[in-house]
Amino acid sequence: MARSLVSRFLQPRPPYISGPTHPSRPTLCLRVHRTRTFSTSTRRHLMDTTGFTETQMTVREAVAALCSQFPDTYWREHDQNEQDPTDFHAALAKGGWLGIALPDSGLTLGALGMAGAQSVHANVYATQTLAKFGSKSQLHDIIPNIISGKWRVCFGVTEPNAGLDTLRLSTTATKQSDGSYRISGQKIWITAAQVARKMILLARTTPRDQVAKPSEGLSLFCIDLDRTKPGLDMRRIKKMGGRAVDANEIWFDNYEVPADTLIGNEGQGFRIVLHSMNAERCLLAGEALGLGYVALAKAAEYARTRVVFDRPIGQNQAIAHPLSDAYMRLEAAKLATYHAARMYDASRTDSSIAQDAVGVSANSAKYLAAEAAFTACERAVLTHGGMGYAVEFDVERYFRECLVPRIAPVSREMILNYISERVLRLPRSY
C-alpha cells in the first residue's frame, strides 16, 4: 500500500520538551500532525502563556478541544474544494463561541487559524457596531440568531474604486418617502457573503459635495441579503489562499431595505463603524499569531525528525536559528496583541483611555503579528525544503493564508502612515 509523503519523510517524533505547567491543570500543548491538530497535555505549549488569567486559559483549552475535531486534513480538503466550513461554524455556535464579543461578553482572542477564523470573524468585529449602536428591536431580533449560528454575517465596506479611502465610497442609500432606502453601488472582497444572511453595510446617504466634512453623510445598515429580491447580484472571487471561505464582488441596483435596518443615526455611519475597526485589528492580530505558531510548530517537528547526512536537520544552525528568530518575533507580537485587546476592552468602561491610544496599539499589534506570521510561515516552507511545496504537509497552505493579515483589512503601508502621523506627528503622506 502506498504511504503518504508525511509518513515517508517523518520518523517517530522525540518527546516534547517538558516545562512548567499551571499548578491546578494541564497547559495547552499544540501538537501538529496529520490526524490531530490540538490536544491538551501536561507538556509545554509553543506559545508561552505565563501571566495568562484563569479565564484566558480556560478559553484556550475549551477552544482547543473544539478545534481538535477539525484537523489539518479537514482544512486541506475544504481549501482544495473551496467548500465552506459549515460544520465548523456550527460547532462554534453550539459551544457558544460566536457570541464571545457580543453583549455580556469580553473580547477574547483564540488562535483558530485563518480559514477557520475567516468563517466567523465578522461575527466578532462587524457586530460590535450593532451591539453598541443598534436599536432594541435589532438587538432582540438579530443578535440571538447570530450567536446561535442560525445567521451568518458579512461586512460591506470596501469598494473597487475607493479601496482604503473609505470616505470616497460611492455606494448610495437613497431614502424613500415611506422611510425605506434603495441601495445602489458595488462592494468587493466581501468575505462569506455567499453564506451570509445579514450584511453590515456602509453607504452614503448624503452626497459628498453636500456635507461639511467627508466623514459626514455616511450611514450604517444591517440588511438582509435576500437573493430572491431584485437588485442584488454577487460573484465569487477566485483567490490564492483561504479558499474554504468565499470572497465576493456584490452589486446593488436599487436594492430596497426597510427603514429599521439603519444602525444609529443617519449620517453618522463612519463614526459608528470606527468602533469596530480597532476590534478588527485586534482580531486579525490574534488570527495571524495562531497561524504563525502552528506553522512554526510544524517546522520544528519536521526539523527534529527529518534526517539528512545522518543527522536531524534541526541540528544545523542554518535551520535552528531562523526558527528561533521566528519564535521570538511571534512572542513579541503576542505581547503587543494582548496589550491592544486589554486596552480595547478597558476603553469601553474607562473614559481616561483615549481612542487614539487604542487605535495605535491595535494597529501596531496587527502589523507586528502579520509580519511575525509571515516570517514563521515562510520559514516553515523553507525548513521543509521540497516537501514544503507539497499540499500534504500543509505549510504551503499556511504560507498562502499568511498573506491575508499583511494585506487586509488595512495594508502594512497604511498602518505605517497611521503611526507616523498619529505618534511621530510627521506630515500626512496621503
| Domain membership flag for residue 47 | no
Residues 282 and 211 in one domain: no
Residue ending a domain, among 270, 298, 322, is 270
> Can you give the pLDDT at residue 10?
56
Assign residue 149 the CATH number of its domain: 2.40.110.10
Mark whether 321 and 406 lie in a shared domain: yes
Q: Which residues of 221-258 are buried (b: 16+ CB within 10 A; e: fewer)?
A: bbbbbeeeeeebebeeeeeebbbbbbbbbbbbeebbbe
Mean pLDDT of the chain: 87
- Give per-residue pLDDT as tens, 114-133: 778 888 877 777 788 898 89
The last residue of a domain, from among 270, 297, 332 = 270
Whether residue 186 is found in the same domain as residue 242: yes
In 348-394, where does DSSP find H-type helix?
Answer: 355-384
User: Phi, psi at residue 202, to the nearest 5°?
Assistant: -105, 125
User: Which cell numbers hold the place of 191?
Assistant: 468575505
Strand partners, 285: none
Question: Per-residue pLDDT tens for 238-250?
Answer: 999 999 999 999 9
Alpha carbon distance 311, 291 (integer Å): 28
Q: What is the pLDDT of residue 276?
A: 85
The pTM for the full model equals: 0.84
Q: Is residue 100, in this structure, part of any structural domain at all? A: no
Residue 54 inside a domain? The answer is: no
Same domain, 285 and 265: no
Domain of 212 in residue numbering reads as 125-270
Kindly state whether residue 68 falls inside one of the protein's structural domains.
Answer: no
Are 202 and 317 within one domain?
no
Does residue 4 lie in a domain region? Answer: no
Residue 301, domain CATH: 1.20.140.10
The answer to the question of residue 210 being in a domain is: yes
How many domains, the chain? 2
- How many Cα atoms sit within 13 Å of 302 on the Cβ side? 27
Are 290 and 224 part of one and the same domain? no
Q: Quote the pLDDT of residue 102.
A: 72
Q: Which of 270, 296, 324 represents a domain boundary (last residue)?
A: 270
Tens digit of pLDDT per residue, the chain (430 long)?
Answer: 455 666 555 544 443 333 333 333 333 333 333 333 333 333 457 999 999 999 999 999 999 999 999 999 999 999 999 999 999 999 999 998 888 777 653 333 333 557 788 888 777 777 888 988 999 999 999 999 998 999 999 999 999 999 889 999 999 999 999 999 999 999 999 999 999 999 999 999 999 999 999 899 999 999 999 999 999 999 999 999 999 999 999 999 999 999 999 999 999 999 999 888 998 999 999 999 999 999 999 999 999 999 999 999 999 999 999 999 999 999 999 999 999 999 999 998 999 999 999 999 999 999 999 999 999 999 999 999 999 999 999 999 999 999 999 999 999 999 999 999 999 999 999 8
Residue 283 belongs to some domain of the structure? yes
Neighbour tally for 25: CB within 10 Å: 12
Q: Which backbone phi and psi does 234 adopt, to 5 degrees?
A: -145, 150
Alpha helices, DSSP H, located in 208-316: 269-305
